[in-house]
Amino acid sequence: MNLSYNNFMLKILPKIIPALIFWGIFIFVVLQIPYPDSITGANFQQLSFFFIPLFFALTFSANFFLKNIYISSSIALGCILLLILKALDSLNLVTGILIVISVGLLVSYFRKATRRSLTLGLKTPKLISLRRRKQ
């Protein structure tokens, strides 16, 4: 039982550690960096210190469950865009639906991209024979 627990921890820890590091950086930024009165009054440094760790924390947290970094980063980008629009009081039904549709299209594109095979459907004789030998 100890061996299976060690294997489990060796598989899980490399996936959890980056998420925990970026969540820690994000919490440190929220607690220590002086915040502006509004998002429009923030300078570039304050915005980058807030949104970059948040993006990576959301990406690595979603990647722990989804196991695809492209899909995870698309979802994290959609969440950040929704957060920015909400902070600017520009989030309404139309912009929210457009962001959800664009994130859905990105996710569907990246989901299809992982299923493709280089030799599937090609008519080149060498690749067809390679595919036959592989199976």
Print the domain residue range for 120: 2-134
Residues 15-66 pLDDT 10s? 899 999 999 999 999 999 888 888 888 889 988 999 999 999 999 999 999 8
Farthest-apart Cα atoms in the chain, separation: 66
Please answer whether residues 61 and 19 qualify as being in contact, where contact means their C-beta atoms are separated by less than 8 angstroms. Answer: yes
Could you count the other beta carbons within 10 Å of the beta carbon of residue 74? 23
- Total domains in the chain come to 1
The pTM of this model reads 0.76
- Cα separation, 73 vs 54, in Å, equals 11
CA distance linking residue 36 with residue 114, whole number of Å: 42
